[in-house]
Amino acid sequence: MTRPSRTAGTSGGVRRWISAATGALALAAGLLTVGAPTASAAALTQVSSFGSNPGNLSMYEYAPDGLATGRPLVMALHGCTQTATDYHTHSGWAQYADQYKFAVVYPQTSSSNQSLSCFRWYDPAQSTRGNGEALSIKQMVDKAIAQYGSDARRIYITGLSAGGGQAANLLADYPDVFAGGSIASGLPAQCATSSNGTNACQYGSLNLTPAQWGDKVRNSYPGWTGAYPRVAIWQGSSDYTVYPVNSTELRDQWTNAWGISQTASSTQTLTGKTTLTSYNDANGKAAVQLYSIDGMGHGLAVNPGSGTGLCGSTGAYFLGTICSSYYTAAFWGLDGSGSTTTLPAPSGLAVTGTTSSSATLSWSAVSGAASYNVYRGGAKVGSSTSAGYTDSGLTASTSYAYTVAAVDPAGTVGTASAAVTATTAAASGGTTLPAPTGLAVTGTTSSSATLSWSAVSGAASYNVYRGGAKVGSSTSAGYTDSGLTASTSYAYTVAAVDPAGTVGTASAAVTATTAAVYTPQCFTASNYAQVTAGRAHTSGGYTYANGSEQNMGLYNLFVTHTLKETADGYYVISDSGC
């Protein structure tokens, strides 16, 4: 993906991206046909009419011969400068459509929409519910469901780069349509709302809290009360077109939308130097998965071959590391590993009343449910045979997060609902101070987190809580919590204390994630090898260090430099030694 330019070819980032792509293609020309998918009697076909098409997109589809009704549907969005045919040929989705029996639709944009044929993930007129490209893709879903009789409960969307950014938008826009998504080298939903904001998204961090990222999802379809799609995130650690921080922000966004912690439920090492980190819902099922591929640049991960877990073919922005389509299909349950008959998430979960020691919930009944499990903070606290429950024995002036899942007559627990928060009333006998507003994380280091909030009238001090336990107090509207662990997420709340020592209502929670401890590394290699390894890039025949942009000389095998990585993805020339 490149950032949009006012005129094609004039943006510095675009020049670097095209130059690097051209060099890679020339050097790898003999490799681009390796591992091509096995031919099938079915073929990629263009659909000429699928609705009003306000986004001016083209629809291409692929379905195995004799596909039965009631099968899943996958929407696959290509990256910049690519086409539906490119994605169909290289991504591996056609292979799994044949094997697991589902249809694939490939939306395609063109240079008449955007100069580099990028999906316009940054333009609200194209990326929001009911508008532009987003609506065109929704119309393609409707067309395919009508044509193939696809299971409307099993519609999925995936995309690469700009297609990944647009896929994230679609997941937020249409949680009532998509059961799951996969974002490869892409961006968080609604990261940018104009072309002027693309650089900040692609090349840096917006420094938003998980709740602020989650709000971008919730605000995309404010009326939605059901569960959000399950999301897989794929990112190379050496991606300098869409920086790896985007995968962390995607993780924060979708775990927050699910109402779950940013602390990993499990970590697993996979082939291709890939680390899989999973974040589970209240039922212990992965709601968000992050696949981080060490050393991979910008592109979709494929792994050509004919064995289990091998797929696709290498090409420009199709990189030979691990078969992302195989693992994504398994995550969605397309391989048959996931149940397709569990009950859906209850909708309409709401807090209908609170006392100082209880919270009463209600929700819409789910057809086929024998009972409902109720979870507080991810732990089951009770069950109900009706669409309501009262949780008692709570602490006054305290906030609690609840989800609900339907249980069928066989005892199978369905998908958990979206979370709601109930705050118990103050204890009787006096007036307590209100909850502080505006609680925010204003800075982190590898061992500390700094908070600020709006002052509360009448407060003598403030108690600060981490994970529900008091960790300190402050007489001002700010606090720094120290002695923390690097690369770890912590949840904080604050309560005002009056001069008599009475503790007021706790604030809404925010999450702070401490920075990683970074150990500098040095790499001595030719300019060609530095670029290949993702530590440098080329422009106009010259080589530049990623991050510092220092000129390293001509792009060839004969000029050698030592690069020192002083921060994640930031390199400086260090020929005199490290």
For residues 504 and 424, give the distance between their C-alpha atoms in angstroms, rounded to a whole number.
12
Least confident among 25-29, 184-188, 403-407, 428-432: 25-29
Per-residue pLDDT, 428 = 61
For the segment 90-135, what is each residue's pLDDT rounded down to a tens digit?
999 999 999 999 999 999 999 999 999 999 999 999 999 999 999 9
Residue reference for tokens 């706790």: 506
Q: Provide mean pLDDT across the span 234-250.
A: 96
The reply to whether 440-513 shares the fold of 12-229+239-244 is no
Mean pLDDT of 284-295: 94
Task: Check pLDDT > 80 for residue 24.
Answer: no
Q: How confident is the model at residue 275 (pLDDT cuts 50, 70, 90)?
A: very high
Q: Which residue has the tokens 């395919």?
A: 144
Q: What per-residue confidence (pLDDT) applies to 20?
A: 33
pLDDT recorded at residue 21 = 34
pLDDT of residue 234 exceeding 80, the answer is yes
pLDDT value of residue 556: 84
Neighbours of 435 (CB within 10 A): 20
Cα–Cα dist 105/84, whole Å: 9
Indicate the fold that domain 350-423 takes in CATH. Answer: Immunoglobulin-like (2.60.40)
Closest CA to 272 of 292, 298, 242, 251: 292
Query: For the chain, how far is it from start to end, CA to CA, in angstroms?
Result: 34
pLDDT above 70 (res 67): yes
* 573-577: average pLDDT: 89
Strand 371-376 to strand 399-407: parallel, antiparallel, or no bridges (unpaired)? antiparallel
The per-residue pLDDT for range 125-162, each reduced to its tens digit, is 999 999 999 999 999 999 999 999 998 889 999 999 99
Q: How far is the CA of 303 from the CAs of 26, 214, 306, 323, 325, in angstroms?
A: 21, 33, 10, 5, 10
- pLDDT tens, position by position, 549-567: 999 999 888 889 999 988 7
Which of 40-49, 53-62, 399-408 is the most confident on average? Answer: 53-62
Mean pLDDT score across all residues of the chain:
87
Name the class of domain 12-229+239-244.
alpha beta
What share of the chain has pLDDT > 90, as a percent?
Answer: 60
- Mean pLDDT of the 500-522 span: 84
Q: Using 50, 70 and 90 to split pLDDT, how confident is the model at 368?
A: confident
- For residue 361, the model assigns a pLDDT of 93
- 337 among known catalytic residues: no
User: Tell me: the pLDDT tens digits for 290-344?
Assistant: 999 999 999 999 999 988 899 999 999 999 999 999 999 999 999 876 544 568 8
Query: Which of 117, 150, 161, 325 is flagged as catalytic?
Result: 161
**Domain coordinates in residue numbering, the chain:** 12-229+239-244, 350-423, 440-513, 521-573
Token digits of residue 158: 């995936």
The CATH superfamily holding the domain 440-513 is: Immunoglobulins (2.60.40.10)
By mean pLDDT, which of 23-27, 79-83, 201-205, 223-227 is the weakest?
23-27
Output phi, psi for 380, to 5 deg: -65, 130
